[in-house]
Amino acid sequence: MPRIRVLESWLADRIAAGEVVERPASVVKELVENALDAGARRITVEFSGGGFELVRVSDDGEGMDPEDAALCLRRFATSKLRAPEDLRRIRTLGFRGEALPSIAAVSQVEILTCDGQVATRVRAEGGSQPRTEPASGPRGTVVTVRRLFYNTPARRNFLRSVAREAALCLDAAERHALARPDVAFRVVRDGREVAAWPAEDPLRRASRILGVPAEELLAVEAGAGGVRVWGFLAPPSLARRSRSGQYFFVNRRPVTSPLLSRAVEQGARTLVFTGQHPACALYVELSPELVDPNVHPRKLEVRFAEESRVFAAVERAVRDAYRSRPLVRAVPLSASSPPATTSPPGGWQVREPAQLAVLEAEPPRRLPRLRLLGQLAGTYLLAESAEGLVVVDQHAAHERVLYERLLRDRARGSHAQLLAAPVMVDLSPSEAAVLPEVSPVLRELGLEVEPFGGTTVLVRSVPASAGWLPPEAVLRACLREGLWDGVPTAGQRALEHAASVVACHSAVRAGDALSVEEMRALLEDLERCDDPYTCFHGRPTLVVVPLDRLEGWFLRR
């Protein structure tokens, strides 16, 4: 007797539903996508009991006639695909015809729909045969889902608390609201309205959902090679410890994309503090033929035909957005608030950063002239500008200066300082194991090392910007155990990483007393940096205390 048999339809439907309907938020996502595909201009999302008791999505879209309504709960019944080639140029959010039948297989579903002439009600429960009857109602569709997973209790046991599932339902609504700011959204949880977004411009919608004032958001706009990237980026001072504040949309489809996240991190590198992540809402637009949304059961991820092109476009767009505005941190009006990133008036200039390969006789200043006042606690330089008191972290500032100088010297061909006599260094086994792989990139910075037998090497030159340091110290800093884990050992990324290591090791430390001449030279060098506002770890190099803040402290205002 054969052991293989074809599953009965009710069981097959429940198994298939598990791929599409993972949790209540999946229901919200699928129903909202159907509403948007139907041309809705107003959408209401309601849920109770974390979405297990009730999920209802109402829209004013085009609705369905009785014939379409009778078919909508049949598996693989869709209005989105007509020919095989349509699958290669998908322009709608839904296209498989799986969502509604999958939801109906594990819940009680009622659909009330009207195409403007005839209204129809469809009911189904646990994958049963749909029942259709005439009804009355306005143009649009209302889909009501009750008792989700009532017939698959094991699925319910693996989900989270009611409160957490409710938060995920709200997140699903937020993502689609951010994808389509031209559509009005309303969200009702347990009978109480918790969110309402009128149809509005993208900046306003992004400000509401990201929780960042509109005037603080940086506009992102770039396009090249058939890829357009636009959207909004929070300043570095509002970066978060997790990626929960990152929203990505590909042709207006909300997606989770490790590729796009990495591109944002790369674009923000050296500008956002290490371990924090920029909050953003980024929209990637490209030809439908160059993106495949059919690679994930719940359509949460997409695959790009040319990933490197998309990555480069997003990275450049983020970097340019950060450089479009002076990222100066100013002491806020409330002493309990963290320093906010502001756009001070006057001498804080924005310019297109120069390519490092271009020689600049006198690089333009991105900071105004700073008049040195002194040093505080051997760690901070105090200076005066037209806007008020400027407090400079001497270590972070020197790191930035040395980092850019190392890369600029390398581009100009003046990166190496030959030693009068080679310095012999005995490496540890772990250091010797790393050296062959990274020696080419170290040589590009001016650190010339050659084998001398066993684990002994000769250092023949050091980076010109770090010529005052002991050569052995520079070399060991670049070979530190774990330093290159997960980092490329060739190319521009490797070069920048090596430069950051040398700069960090070479910079003055907190507590180092500086002479007046050294302090003035550091301020002048910082003024000429391409990105003077942060060190390469993303820490701020300076903070401004505005004059009106000072006057408030002394009760002059």
**pLDDT tens, per residue, the chain with 557 residues:** 666 766 566 555 555 555 568 899 999 999 999 999 999 999 999 999 999 999 999 999 999 999 888 888 887 667 655 565 655 667 678 665 678 888 998 999 999 999 999 999 999 998 888 999 999 999 999 999 999 999 888 777 788 889 999 999 999 999 999 999 999 999 999 999 999 999 999 999 999 999 999 999 999 999 888 899 999 999 988 888 888 899 999 999 999 889 999 999 999 888 888 788 999 999 999 998 888 776 555 567 788 889 999 999 999 999 999 888 777 776 665 544 455 555 444 444 444 433 333 333 445 567 878 899 999 999 999 999 888 899 999 999 999 999 999 988 888 877 788 888 899 999 888 888 888 888 898 888 888 999 888 889 999 998 887 777 788 888 888 888 677 877 777 888 888 888 888 888 888 888 889 999 999 999 999 988 888 988 888 889 999 988 888 888 888 87
Give me the pLDDT at residue 484, please. 80
pTM score over 0.85: no
Cα separation of 324 and 523, whole Å? 22
User: Strand, coil or helix: what is 476?
Assistant: helix
Cα separation of 451 and 436, whole Å? 9
**Surface-to-core class of residue 3, CB atoms within 10 Å of its CB (0-12 exposed, 13-18 middle, 19+ buried):** exposed
Give me the pLDDT at residue 80, please. 56
Cα separation of 275 and 384, whole Å? 32
Cα separation of 479 and 481, whole Å? 6
Give me the pLDDT at residue 464, please. 83
Using an 8 Å Cβ cutoff, are 453 and 498 in contact? no
Give me the pLDDT at residue 357, please. 33
Complete domains list, the chain, with CATH: 9-200 (3.30.565.10), 203-322 (3.30.230.10), 329-557 (3.30.1540.20)
Give me the pLDDT at residue 412, please. 81
Non-local (6+) Cβ contacts of 25 within 8 A are 51, 165, 168, 169, 171, 172
**Surface-to-core class of residue 88, CB atoms within 10 Å of its CB (0-12 exposed, 13-18 middle, 19+ buried):** exposed
Give me the pLDDT at residue 171, please. 94
